[in-house]
Each structure stands twice: as structure tokens, then as C-alpha cells.
Chain A
Amino acid sequence: MVRGLDGDGAAQNALLSALAPLMRGFFARRMRGAGDDVEDLVQETLIAIHTRRASYDRNRPFTAWAYAVARYKMIDHFRRSRNHVPFEDLEEILVAEGFQDAASAKMDVDVLLGGISPKQARAIRQTRIDGLSIAEAAESAGISEADVKVSVHRGLKALAEKLKGK
């Protein structure tokens, strides 16, 4: 880079050629294979790295500067294509979405189980959702194991009919 800054065209060519695959990897990893966009961004970034090389401070690490340019280009790309994906918070968003799914699934289950007899609902919940064994469920409800099995069986049948009826 420094030799390129000093006006050495061959060094600049070598630098940009070495950066191209790095940038391709950088964008490809973050954009899940939008091939044309990736190559466009690689080219735009190389142009910016070349034409704005005056903004590189020789006393600072070069890769940090180059990737900062690439990151800006990527954010600008998303802004232009109105595809708002805030990368910094992606993990949090995914976690929040997972939580929402789980919460609404739980609500659905509660509604469905509310529609059958409490004994059947309790048996299904304990053996199928909470993961208790038949023996444990029988003991906690104070009924026989056969009773638990029958309750689960009849409850599931009732649920299936309810769902079909909907």
C-alpha cells in the first residue's frame, strides 16, 4: 500500500489484486450469495480504496482501513436497496424472533388444551410437553399409569378432532 501511495503502479495493481478475493469473501459471507451484488460491491470498494487512498494514514493498520471502507460500502448498498438489515444487532433480532415464535406457540397450545377436559390436558402437558414419564405423571396426578395413557390417547384424539373441525 505504501509503495502504491508513492506512485508505484505495479505495487498498487498487486495490492488491489490481493484485496479483491478478500473483499469477495467479506461480502459473500455477509450477503448470503447474491452473486452479482457481491461482485459489484467488490468493484466499488476497490474503486473507493484506490481513489480515496489519501484518507489512509500510513501510521495505522492498513487492513482496518480497507475493511472500514468495505463495511461502509456494504451499509450503503443495503441503504440503497432498502433492505434494512442492521448487522450489529442481527443476533439480538434472531433471538427476539425465536422468543416471539415460542411465545405464540405456547399460547396456541394453551388455547387448545383449554378445550379438552382438565385431566386429559394435564396428562398431555406432562408427558408430551414437559417430558415426564408415564410413571411420574401418574404419581403427580395421583392416578394409575393406565389412566394416564388412556387420558393422553383420548385427549390427543379430541384435539385432532377439534383441529379438523376448525
Chain B
Amino acid sequence: MQTNDLIAALAADTRRISPRAAQQRLVLGLGLGMATAAALTIGSFGMRPDLPGALTSTQLWMKAAYTASLAVIAVLAMLHVARPDAGPTRLSWLLLIPVALLASMSAMELMTTPGEMWMPMWLGGSWRQCSIRVVFLAVPIFAALIWSFRQFAPTNLRRAGAAAGLAAGACSATVYGLHCGEVSATFVLTWYSLGIVAATGIGALIGPRLLRW
């Protein structure tokens, strides 16, 4: 094909691109993925039975705030790596803030609890399932984010994959909070984070394959 013909063909298909197109596209992908994850949670695990009442408990909001703040940082990082001319970013250091906050809550919790209660508090009733379910629910969100990236131009594919994995893991953990009734900060810090880290790692591993353009 002659380059001039190509240019004519491309230019013939020039739709308006909003100045905030990248953000909109990312939010759309995130919304689709999270809706799927929420449907999966309610469908296969069920809502926590005490949900209406638990909405007033600090623990529920502690969990949601932790995972949601990780998700927000991950989304900012994704917007950054989606652009080919973006330089290095220090955004990942921000992740330390929610982790440190939750860790201090966990430390306070451990100090106010007698030693023999530590293990049950740490393992809760669902430590075997928690991380795996977080990763499982992250799959549809990750897929939707990869779809969003098709309009973007990431040049560091591994970093882009990791950011998408982190966003997917953090969002899926937020959604999983609909089901999971664990209340201890130590539990969340360990098993939720483990699931999110696993999702991030998988994202970084398969990102370069899925995101090539």
C-alpha cells in the first residue's frame, strides 16, 4: 500500500477525540471490569449476610479505604504509562502511605489483643480463600483494562502490565469486600495485600505479551 493512500484512508476515519479520552476510556474499562467482578462475587460467593448493618462499621470502611486508595494510585500510574512520552514516575512510592497506615492499625490491634488471640485474628475464617479469590476477581478487571489500553501507547510494557495488574487487584479486593466479613486489619494487611501483589506480579509478567502494539 502506498503511504499516501494509507494516509487518506486513515484521515477518512477521523472521529472526534475528547481531550479527556484516555481518562474516559480507562474509567469505562474499570467500570465494566468491576461490574463483572461484583456480579461474580454476588453470584458465586454471595453478599455478606450482615451487609446493611456492617455499613456503619469502621472495619468495612478501613478495608474499602485501603484497597480503594491503592486502586486510585494504580489508575494514576496507568494514565501515566499509557503515554509514550511519559518519563519515569515516583507514583509507586505513594503506595507506601496506605500500607503504612494499615500496618500501624494492625500493630495497634495486635497490641490491644492478648497473644493467644493473634493467630485466629491473623488467619480469620477465610485466609485460605481470600488471596485466591482476590486474584480470581481481578481477571475480568484486568481484561477490561487491557482492552482500554488498546487506544493507548505504552512504551514500557512491563510497567504498564504491572500498573494494570495492581489496579485490577486493588479493585477486585474492594469488590471482594462485599462478600468478605473479616474485620481485622492484620488479616487485610496480609491476605488482601497478598492477592493484590500476586495480581500485580501476573500483570507485570503477561503485560508485555498482551500490550504489544
Q: Is B104 an interface residue when CB atoms closer than 8 A count as contact?
A: no
Stretch at the interface among B36-44, B124-132, B151-159, B198-206: B151-159
Query: Closest residue of chain A to B10, judged by CB?
Result: A50
A80 CB → nearest B CB, Å: 10
Q: Answer yes or no: B51 CB below 8 A from chain A CBs.
A: no
Contact call B84/A55, Cβ cutoff below 8 A: yes
Across-interface contacts of B152 in A (CB, < 8 A): 52, 54-55
Within 1-29 of B, Cβ neighbours of A (below 8 Å) are at 1, 3-4, 6-8, 10-12, 14-17, 19, 21-22, 25
B116 within 8 Å of A (CB atoms)? no
Binds B, one of A63-71, A84-92, A124-132, A158-166: A63-71
Count how many pairs of residues, one from A and one from B, have CB atoms less than 8 Å apart in the complex: 89
Is the beta-carbon distance between B7 and A5 smaller than 8 angstroms? no
Contact partners of A20 in chain B: CB under 8 A:
3-4, 7
B69-89 CB mask vs A (1 if < 8 Å, else 0) is: 000000000000011110000
142-166 of chain B: CB within 8 A of chain A: 151-153, 155
Interface residues of A in 23-81 (CB under 8 A from B): 39, 42-43, 46-48, 50-58, 60-61, 64-65, 68-69, 71-72, 76
Query: Is there contact, CB below 8 Å, between A16 and B19?
Result: no
User: What interface size band does chain A fall in?
Assistant: 35 or more
User: Contact partner of A48 among B11, B15, B83, B153, CB < 8 A?
Assistant: B153
- Chain B residues with CB below 8 A from A51, complex form: 10, 151
B213 sits at the interface (CB 8 A): yes
> DSSP class of A's interface residues: helix, strand, loop or mixed?
helix
Q: Is B212 an interface residue (CB 8 A)?
A: yes
**Hey, which bits of chain B sit against chain A, CB under 8 A?**
1, 3-4, 6-8, 10-12, 14-17, 19, 21-22, 25, 82-85, 151-153, 155, 212-213
Given contacts A9-B14, A48-B213, A69-B153, 12 further A-B contacts (CB under 8 A): A6-B16, A6-B17, A7-B15, A12-B10, A12-B11, A17-B4, A48-B153, A54-B17, A54-B22, A60-B83, A61-B85, A71-B155
Chain A residues packing against B (C-beta within 8 Å): 4-10, 12-13, 16-17, 20, 39, 42-43, 46-48, 50-58, 60-61, 64-65, 68-69, 71-72, 76
